[in-house]
């Protein structure tokens, strides 16, 4: 399998992979899996002042899946409820030159991301102390 230079770079370094470092602010998580597609992803994000300020991921999958998860986690800080997601499966597929037969794995990533953003939105819209 041929991998783009960006996929190789991200897969070699896996930035934002693992658990979030200790810090102030609530943490939300979103997860999705389709093991028959060869993908499991979990995103975690720390919230402060109505925005995501830090993000991390854990994943099981091919190099394309892991590279896409790293890129997604890197783009999460700054996201606020009511704004579009920072990435989607099709844009990631194009940016990372993911073959069409692996798009289903990126759709699993998109499901995990949507779960995370939904939980972040719910927390951001909850009344203080509630």
Structure tokens given for 78: 């700054």
State how many domains the chain has: 1
Look at residue 12 and tell me if it is in a domain: yes
* 64 in Cβ contact with 100 (< 8 Å): no
pLDDT at 120: 95
* CATH number where 12 lies: 3.90.1010.10
Q: Which domain holds residue 55?
A: 5-125
* 27 in Cβ contact with 20 (< 8 Å): yes
pLDDT at 124: 80
* 92 in Cβ contact with 72 (< 8 Å): yes
Closest CA to 34 of 89, 118, 113, 111: 111
Look at residue 38 and tell me if it is in a domain: yes
Bridge partners (DSSP) listed for residue 98: none
Dump pLDDT digits (tens) for 74-129: 999 999 999 999 999 999 999 999 999 999 999 999 999 999 999 999 988 776 65
pLDDT at 128: 63
Question: Which H or E run contains 103?
Answer: helix 103-125
Dump pLDDT digits (tens) for 38-67: 999 999 999 999 899 999 999 999 999 999
Look at residue 11 and tell me if it is in a domain: yes
Look at residue 37 and tell me if it is in a domain: yes
Look at residue 130 and tell me if it is in a domain: no
pLDDT at 66: 97
* 9 in Cβ contact with 95 (< 8 Å): no
Report how far residue 41's alpha carbon sits from residue 32's, in angstroms, rounded to the nearest whole number: 6
Look at residue 18 and tell me if it is in a domain: yes
pLDDT at 129: 59
């Amino acid at each position: 399998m041929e991998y783009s230079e960006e996929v190789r770079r991200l897969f070699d370094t896996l930035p934002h992979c693992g658990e979030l470092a200790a810090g102030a602010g609530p943490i939300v998580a979103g997860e999705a899996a389709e093991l028959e597609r060869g993908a499991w992803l979990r995103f975690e994000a720390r919230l402060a002042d109505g925005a995501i300020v830090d993000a991390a991921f854990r994943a099981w999958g091919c190099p394309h899946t892991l590279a896409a998860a790293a890129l997604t986690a890197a783009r999460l800080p700054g996201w606020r409820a009511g704004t579009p997601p920072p990435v989607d499966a099709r844009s990631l597929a194009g940016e990372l030159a993911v073959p069409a037969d692996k798009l289903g794995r990126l759709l699993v990533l998109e499901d995990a991301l949507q779960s995370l953003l939904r939980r972040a939105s719910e927390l951001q819209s909850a009344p203080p102390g509630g």
